Amino acid sequence: MTVSRPSSDRLRVGLDAAVREFVREPINVALLVVLPPVVITSYESMLSAFPRLPYMTTDPGALGATAGTLFVAAFLPAVIGLFQVISAQRADERLSLAGFPELALFVSRLGAVCLATLLTAALSLGVLATTTEVESLALGFLTLAFVGGLYGLIGMLIGTVLPRELEGSLVLIFVVDVDEALASGVIATDAAATKLFPLHYPHEVFQAAVDGTAPAASDVLAAATYGAIVLVATFLVYTALAATGGGGG
Amino acid sequence: MSTLRTTFEMGVREYARTPILLSLLAFLPVYLILVFHWVMPESRVTVDIPIQGAMSAEMTAVATVLTTPMAAAFVGGAAGLFLMQSASAVDGRLAIAGADAVEIVAARGGVLVLAALVGSVVSVGVLSAVMSVERLRWYLLAILLVALLYGGLGALVGLVLNRLAGVYVLLFGPFFDLFLAQSPLTDETHALAPFLPGHFPMKLAFDAALTARVVPRNLWFSLAYLAVLALVVGLGFRRGLRVD
């Protein structure tokens, strides 16, 4: 027997279930609200202890606040994406068997990640705006929402390929922290390989939003292309493995 | 003694049964350390080394010496976080069946030490493939201390928070502590840095990596920090096992 529902109903049910699962643990909600200010102010404070090294474009404290904002907006959705997919794997398999289209399952999981992304982006930008003048709030918000979505997808991708909490978390931690350290501005590197990391181009666009300059079209295009590739790859892998029970674990 | 051995063997087998996990434990430190080694420019920076003060060093060497403890800390921290949470259900049953709580805690601690040791040896092995440090044994000891401290913290976080929150803490914790607060590139020590777990072992690591001398005091302080942490984690874990 298959479930016959309009597709909008299916999406709503899937999204409701994903959101409920997340908010059932108050600590998850607390994380969304508490961590942005803690991480951003800690970042700014830690980097204030650095001297202004020749390759730094601005004073280290401001550099830290900007980088911290970008990171907190990116990585909380990543962790949520990872755990959403892992914890919902069996439910998604059953829903898929019951006739839920794989696209609806994917969109409902991604929808929950996007809700967290929008909330984190708004909070992060709000915290940054208390210490740093952000010249273009709209572009800043869009960039933060984009990196949240991008890393949310990466979290989902890792969770689909490695649907076990320890293994998936280990991979996510290493991927995130290499990107975090390279994009932080604490160390100088002009190696071409760094351009392959997810935060490279969004970092340039976000800095333009803070400075009030027009972002380079090539950076915007590269970031959008990166996002599109990650979206398609995650969808294909998710529909091939998670929703149909093909993932190991 | 047999409960201790059996529980320890069970914990090790749980790890050994998952080849993907073992491959990740070997591959991820290689990835982290080598990426930084390769992308760093060939330039020199001024660093503040505890035993020597300001000195000039290759940026590549500084980055490699910094990222090696990070790799070990991530492996130790993740092992601590997941070990304590995944073991709690089994250990609760063992306690009900009459196993001694101290032996169960000691066995889980043993598995954590083993994971930290593997993470440290792999990380230092990768470092040794791309550069040589002045005092290798002291450096390995410092990295092992970092892995154990973060293993203990991961276990503590696992006792207090859920896994999602725990992973989030592990994403930022070692980065803040080891990469930013203990960085030798800083002008002055951040007010929080001396209280963070990486402070003393990182001093030991930088002395051992870049100079010919180490200050044993940093070892004693690291061990004292570790002992207090182990005591807190042990008591917390044992409390979770209490059968009334």
- Residue A63 resides in a domain: yes
- Whether residue A248 is predicted with pLDDT greater than 60 in this model: the reply is no
Q: Which band of pLDDT confidence, cut at 50, 70 and 90, is reported for residue A249?
A: very low
The pLDDT, as a whole number, for residue B47 is: 83
With respect to residue A155, please indicate whether it lies within any of the assigned structural domains.
yes
In a domain, A130, yes or no: yes
C-alpha to C-alpha distance for A60 and A184, rounded to whole angstroms: 10
What pLDDT shows up at residue A1? Answer: 46
Q: Mean of the per-residue pLDDT values for chain B?
A: 86
**A149 C-beta neighbours (distance < 10 Å), count:** 23
pLDDT at B136 over 90: yes
Tens digit of each residue's pLDDT (9 = 90 or more) over A38-55: 889 988 888 888 877 777
Residue B122 has pLDDT above 50, yes or no: yes
Q: Give percent above pLDDT 90 in chain B.
A: 40
Chain A closest CA to B190's CA: distance in Å?
Answer: 6
Q: Is A164 in the B-facing interface, judged by CB distances under 8 Å?
A: yes
The per-residue pLDDT for A180 is 79
Q: Which residues of A touch B163 (CB under 8 A)?
A: 83, 165, 169
How far CA B126 is from CA of A189, B22, B61, B210, in Å, comes to 21, 16, 13, 17
Question: Which range is least confidently modeled, A128-142, B99-113, B147-161?
Answer: B99-113
- Asked whether residue A249 is assigned to any structural domain, the reply reads no
| Reported ipTM exceeds the 0.90 cut | no
Nearest to A168 by CA among B137, B191, B219, B164: B164
Higher pLDDT, A205 or A53: A205
Contact B123, B72 (CB under 8 A): yes
Q: What is the pLDDT of residue A123?
A: 93
Q: What is the pLDDT of residues A158-173, one digit of tens each?
A: 999 988 888 888 888 8
> Which of B64, B172, B182, B186 to probe the A interface (max A CBs under 10 A)?
B172
Higher-confidence residue: B180 or A31? B180
Percent of chain A with pLDDT over 90: 31
* Distance set, CA A227 to CA A145, A158, B242 (Å): 12, 15, 49
A87 assigned to some structural domain: yes
pLDDT over 70, % of chain B: 98
The mean pLDDT of chain A is 84
**Higher pLDDT pick, A185 / A127:** A127
3-state secondary structure chain B: CHHHHHHHHHHHHHHHCCHHHHHHHHHHHHHHHHHHHHHCCCCEEEEEECCCEEEEEEHHHHHHHHHHHHHHHHHHHHHHHHHHHHHHHHHHHHHHCCCCHHHHHHHHHHHHHHHHHHHHHHHHHHHHHHCCCCCHHHHHHHHHHHHHHHHHHHHHHHHHCCHHHHHHHHHHHHHHHHHHHCCCCCCCCCCCHHHCCCHHHHHHHHHHHHCCCCCHHHHHHHHHHHHHHHHHHHHHHHHHHCCC
Chain B residue with the nearest C-alpha to that of A180: B175
Region for A185 from its dihedrals, namely left if φ exceeds 0, alpha if ψ lies in -120 to 50, beta otherwise: left
Tell me the CB-side half-sphere exposure of residue A14, using CA atoms within 13 A: 33
| Set of chain A residues whose Cβ sits within 8 Å of the Cβ of B185 | 50-51, 53, 186
In a domain, A206, yes or no: yes
The count of other CB atoms within 10 Å of the CB of residue A50 is: 22
Query: What's the whole-number mean pLDDT along residues A202-228?
Result: 94
Residue B86: the pLDDT is 74
User: What is the extent of the structural domain holding A20?
Assistant: 7-242
Count how many domains chain A has: 1
CB atoms B162 and A25 under 8 Å? yes
In this predicted structure, what is the pLDDT of residue A121?
94
Are A181 and B67 a contacting pair at CB < 8 A? yes
Interface of B with A in 182-201 (CB under 8 A): 183, 185-190, 192-193
CA A175 – CA B229 distance, rounded (Å): 28
Domain presence at residue A224: yes
Residue B72 near residue B25 (C-beta atoms within 8 A): no
Band the pLDDT of A155: cuts 50, 70, 90.
very high
Assess A25–B contact: CB distance below 8 Å, yes or no. Answer: yes
Whole-number Å distance between alpha carbons of B104 and B88: 10
How far is residue A150's CA from residue A163's CA, in Å, rounded to a whole number?
Answer: 19
* pLDDT of amino acid B99: 75
| Backbone φ, ψ for residue B53 (5° rounding) | 80, -155
The pLDDT tens digits of the residues spanning B48-86 come to: 887 777 888 888 899 899 999 999 999 899 888 887 777
Q: Is the pLDDT higher at B47 or at A145?
A: A145
Residue B27 contacts A where some CB pair is shorter than 8 Å: no
Please tell me the distance from the alpha carbon of residue A193 to that of residue B46, in angstroms, as a whole number.
25
Contact B179, B196 (CB under 8 A): no
Please report the pLDDT score of residue A11 as a whole number. 67
Question: Using the beta-carbon criterion (under 8 Å), do A177 and B175 form an inter-chain contact?
Answer: yes
Q: Is A57 a domain residue? A: yes
Once rounded to an integer, what is the mean pLDDT over residues A200-211?
92
Cα–Cα distance between B208 and B214 in angstroms, integer?
Answer: 6
Provide, as residue numbers in chain B, all residues whose Cβ is less than 8 Å from the Cβ of A180.
175
pLDDT, residue A102, reads 78
